[in-house]
Amino acid sequence: MRKPIIAITPKTWKGGDEEEMYCYVFPNFIHCVSACGGLPVQLSCLEGSFQPSDFENLLNHVDGVLFTGGPDIHPGLYGEELLDCCGSLAPERDALEIPLMQKALEMDKPVFGICRGFQVLNVATGGTMYQDLNTQHKSSTHIEHQRTKPEERDRAMHTVNVMKDTPLQTFTGGLLQIGVNTLHHQGVKKLGDPLCSMAIADDGIVESAYYPGKKFAMGVQWHPEILGLDNKVANNLFSAFVDACAKNMK
């Protein structure tokens, strides 16, 4: 029996003497997918790689899509002006990931969004974002979400409150509070419709959500691929995603 084929969205960088654009996927994502029984395949978001009409054909050849972390989504995609507090952008990723997410949801393909990938799920369903949490989000409880020191990347730096009777609660073994690592400066302002929250930080920021009625369509704001599969919740998330992809095979 074949393994489920899981497409992974890439990051981009410019390198070489002529500033050529390259695509790559962090090894953590590849390891987590393959260790849980999936066959990871890297996508390309270079200009000309895809036309809008290609997405259905692509999705007919894979069993699920993992949307990875990276730069900010352009605020114009959720109806806002670009502010100075917004971070670096990746229009080539927006052009791939927003329509790919929308088509995957339409076709009920399993999708899992991590950090930016969670934000892609939110924007693709009509949600909006804080362009910078420290600048725009006001709360009596302060959480520093952008913990980027190397020694902090794989540590739980704050807790999130897990909503009862959600898929995430099953992945936590029933726990209603878990520790997460945190590497983002943006966050969900308005949740897309019909997404439902699965976890909220103490400062009120939605840290996880899912699309009810889909085979598997959910995202988390933290980085389970960095926490690694020794982390029970991270392992359960990746295992459930790959299992959903396996069940989706034709």
Known catalytic residues are 115, 223, 225
Whether residue 233 contacts residue 181, with contact meaning beta carbons closer than 8 Å, is answered with: no
Whether residue 243 contacts residue 109, with contact meaning beta carbons closer than 8 Å, is answered with: no
- φ, ψ at 185 (rounded to 5°): -115, -5
Residue 148, classed as helix, strand or coil, is coil
146 secondary structure, DSSP code: B
Per DSSP (E only), the strands in the chain are: 5-8, 11-15, 20-24, 39-42, 64-67, 111-114, 128-130, 158-162, 177-180, 187-190, 196-201, 206-210, 217-220
Lookup result for tokens 């983002």 = 184
Q: How far apart are the first and last CA of the chain?
A: 11
CA distance 208 to 184: 13
